[in-house]
Amino acid sequence: MNPVKLGWMHLRISALNELQYRANFFLAAFNALLALATGLIVIGLVYSHTESLNGWSQPELLIVMGVHVFIGGLIRAFVEPNMYQLMQDIEEGTLDYTLTRPADAQLLVSVRATSIWQTVDLAIGLIVVAIGVVQLQTATTVAHVTAFILTILLGVVIIYCVWLMITTAAFKLIRVDNMVQMLQGIYQAGRWPVSIYPLWLRGGLTFIIPLAFAITVPAEALADRLAGSTIALAVAFSAVVMLVTRLIWRWGLANYSGASA
Amino acid sequence: MLALARYYVAAGKLSIQGQIQYRASTYFYLIGFLIEPVVYLVVWRTVAESQGGSIGGYSAEALTAYYIVWTLVRAMNVGFDPNAWGWRIQRGRLNEMLSRPIHPFHRDFAWFGGGKFVWILLWLPMAAGLWIAFRPQISPTLVEGTAFFVAIWLAFAVRFALLWALGMITFWTTRGSAIFEIFIAAELLLSGRLVPLELMPEWTQIIGAWLPFKWTFQFPIEVVIGRLTSGEVLAGLAIQTTWAAALIALIWVIWKPAVSKYTAVGG
């Protein structure tokens, strides 16, 4: 079966399942708006004491924040639910049911679950990005928007790969739920451009947990701060991360023994 | 009373053993926690440096000390949050606790209290790393160190009781997470968690003084970084004790009507 068709069908079914619980929408919207208000207060507070944060103006920071909210929404809506499901299946030995199906196991474990209401963050993130762009003093061109879309797509791929690599450790360690807690904590660092961090942390946020590629680089694209070489690096990096993720996934599957099946 | 003390010691020991058993898992959890203050530290240091090296009476080095101590205070004041309460109610996990002759508050308080010893042990190498990376300006006296030790345990008692009381809302509604999010947002802005309250608008400082949040974050930090007089430290410890006593009393008052609402949704 066509992998795209299969993935779409799974996503549709899990989304329809989630759509039954409409109260969750109000909860997700409330949480998203509260997080947005808090984020805006924090940015306002920082810029009440300074005009520039290591060369970043307030509108540019708004764009970073919008991208952070957008990518965070994608993670919570599509990546995390699947990773939690995978962790649970590995721990309980129920991954067998997925592995016996005649389709690629990595694809199946990546499209089984959705928290569709979390997509409210996608809308909020894009609105914040748009407000940041409008407040910018420079003109935003088609090239900027194209680079933004391309780097966002690469960022999504990279973040998915990192989440899957971490989750794959469950094949060996069994309990990795706190690793995901750790990732969620580290993700908060992406709310600020990585260039403000000291070198050692910047390195970690670029190549180990690559929030630089997922959040700062797309924001730089819109703020006219992005060099062409960075886009090339992002493309090359995402290709390497995809390859490594695939290898780690296959290694993980080889270690799976259906512990509690 | 002696029996209760024995229970606390036994439950605390069990918790320590449990946390040591899953130390790698606890470590990951702690790393996720510690990113938050590192982010604040970098942001506010950058702001201070752009303003000539100090902001709101805090030098860049003093801000560094603030956030490094913050990491210990944060590790100390983790409690049983309302989301975990929701899970406990929905899954019917409270049944077993209700069948015991001891109040569940004691079980949770002893469990989390015992776990702090492991958390502090795991925190030490991380604090050393942050110390080397950021070079804070801190040299507490023996009195300040002793007062800090008392203050962080009282901060734990206040925040633990606050979260526990808040979590009891899930007896009435299984969706307590919205209330918890409001709590976290208020705490972030009014406790000194985001930034020392001196850097916030004046009205937040006035509101913050009347709420318990400040006594769980900023106060213990200020005790050890030497920004308070002896009188202020003693007054602060008294306020922490009052908050802890008031919140625990509140829990005891609400408990009976709360349990009468308990239906163990998924039990």
Which of A86-95, A186-195, A232-241 is predicted with the least confidence, judged by mean pLDDT? A86-95
Model pLDDT for residues A124-175, shown as the tens digit of each residue:
999 999 999 999 878 889 999 999 999 999 999 999 999 999 888 888 776 6
Check CB contact under 8 Å for A49 and B51. yes
pLDDT band of residue B264 (cuts 50, 70, 90) is low
Phi-psi region of A226 (alpha: psi -120 to 50; beta: other; left: phi over 0): beta
B190 shares contact with chain A (CB less than 8 Å): no
Greatest CA separation for chain B: 61
Measured CA to CA, the distance from residue A128 to residue A217 in angstroms comes to: 16
What confidence score (pLDDT) does residue A244 get?
A: 96
pLDDT winner (highest mean) among A134-143, A244-253, B117-126? A244-253
Model pLDDT for residues A39-75, shown as the tens digit of each residue:
999 999 999 999 889 899 999 999 999 999 999 999 9
Question: What is the overall mean pLDDT for chain B?
Answer: 88
| CB-nearest partner of B42 from A34, A185, A197 | A197
Helix (H) or strand (E) holding A171: helix A170-173
| CB-nearest partner of A49 from B47, B175, B185 | B47
ipTM of the complex: 0.83
Measured CA to CA, the distance from residue B119 to residue B79 in angstroms comes to: 13
Say if residue B149's pLDDT is above 80: yes
Model pLDDT for residues B13-56, shown as the tens digit of each residue:
888 888 887 777 778 888 887 888 889 999 999 999 888 888 88
Give A178 to chain B, closest Cα distance, Å.
5
Which of A83, A86, A228 has its CA nearest to residue A150? A228
Which of B192, B178, B172 has its CA nearest to residue B262? B172
Measured CA to CA, the distance from residue B19 to residue B94 in angstroms comes to: 21
Measured CA to CA, the distance from residue B54 to residue A79 in angstroms comes to: 42
Measured CA to CA, the distance from residue A71 to residue A202 in angstroms comes to: 19
Which residues from A are below 8 Å from B when comparing CB atoms?
Answer: 23, 27, 30-31, 34-35, 37-38, 41-42, 45-46, 49-50, 52-54, 173, 175-179, 181-186, 188-189, 191-192, 196-198, 200-201
Dump the DSSP string for A134-146: HH-SSPPPHHHHH
Q: Do the Cβ atoms of A255 and A86 come closer than 8 Å?
A: no
Measured CA to CA, the distance from residue B79 to residue B112 in angstroms comes to: 7
| CB-nearest partner of B200 from A38, A45, A183 | A45
Nearest chain A residue to B52 by CA: give it: A50
Under DSSP, the state recorded for A138 is: S
What confidence score (pLDDT) does residue B248 get?
A: 96
Residues 102-161 (B) with a CB less than 8 A from some CB of A: 133
What dihedral do alpha carbons B39, B40, B43, B45 form, nearest 10°? -120
Say if residue B265's pLDDT is above 70: no
pLDDT band of residue A258 (cuts 50, 70, 90) is low
Give B147 to chain A, closest Cα distance, Å.
30
Check CB contact under 8 Å for B181 and A173. no
Say if residue B258's pLDDT is above 50: yes
pLDDT band of residue B170 (cuts 50, 70, 90) is confident
| Straight-line distance from the first to the last Cα atom of chain B, in angstroms, rounded to the nearest whole number | 33
B21 shares contact with chain A (CB less than 8 Å): no
Judged on CB neighbours under 10 Å (0-12, 13-18, 19+), A159 is buried
Beta strands in chain B (DSSP E): 54-55, 58-59
Which of A101-115, A167-181, B120-134 is predicted with the least confidence, judged by mean pLDDT? A167-181
Say if residue B181's pLDDT is above 90: no
Within 8 A of B55 by CB-CB distance, chain A residues are: 49
What confidence score (pLDDT) does residue A259 get?
A: 53
What confidence score (pLDDT) does residue B267 get?
A: 47
What confidence score (pLDDT) does residue B148 get?
A: 96
Q: Do the Cβ atoms of A214 and A159 come closer than 8 Å?
A: yes
Nearest chain A residue to B177 by CA: give it: A27
Dump the DSSP string for B181-244: HHHHHHHHHHSSSSS-GGGS-HHHHHHHHHSSGGGGTHHHHHHHTT-S-HHHHHHHHHHHHHHH
pLDDT greater at residue B87 or residue A53: A53
Q: What is the pLDDT averaged over residues B78-100?
A: 83
Nearest chain A residue to B50 by CA: give it: A50
Q: Where do the domains of chain B lie?
A: 2-259
Within 8 A of A198 by CB-CB distance, chain B residues are: 42, 133
Looking at residue B130, its amino acid is: L
Question: What is the overall mean pLDDT for chain A?
Answer: 89
Which of A92-101, A236-245, B150-159 is predicted with the least confidence, judged by mean pLDDT? A92-101
pLDDT band of residue B164 (cuts 50, 70, 90) is very high
Q: Tokens 């898992």 — which residue?
A: B25
Measured CA to CA, the distance from residue B119 to residue B25 in angstroms comes to: 12
Residues 33-52 (B) with a CB less than 8 A from some CB of A: 33-36, 38-39, 42-43, 46-47, 50-51
Q: What is the pLDDT averaged over residues B235-248?
A: 97
Backbone phi, psi, residue A153, to 5°: -60, -45
Q: Where do the domains of chain A lie?
A: 3-254
Give B121 to chain A, closest Cα distance, Å.
18
What confidence score (pLDDT) does residue A242 get?
A: 96
Measured CA to CA, the distance from residue A191 to residue A214 in angstroms comes to: 11
Say if residue A261's pLDDT is above 60: no
Give B245 to chain A, closest Cα distance, Å.
30
Measured CA to CA, the distance from residue A244 to residue A166 in angstroms comes to: 12
Give A3 to chain B, closest Cα distance, Å.
34
pLDDT greater at residue B91 or residue B108: B108
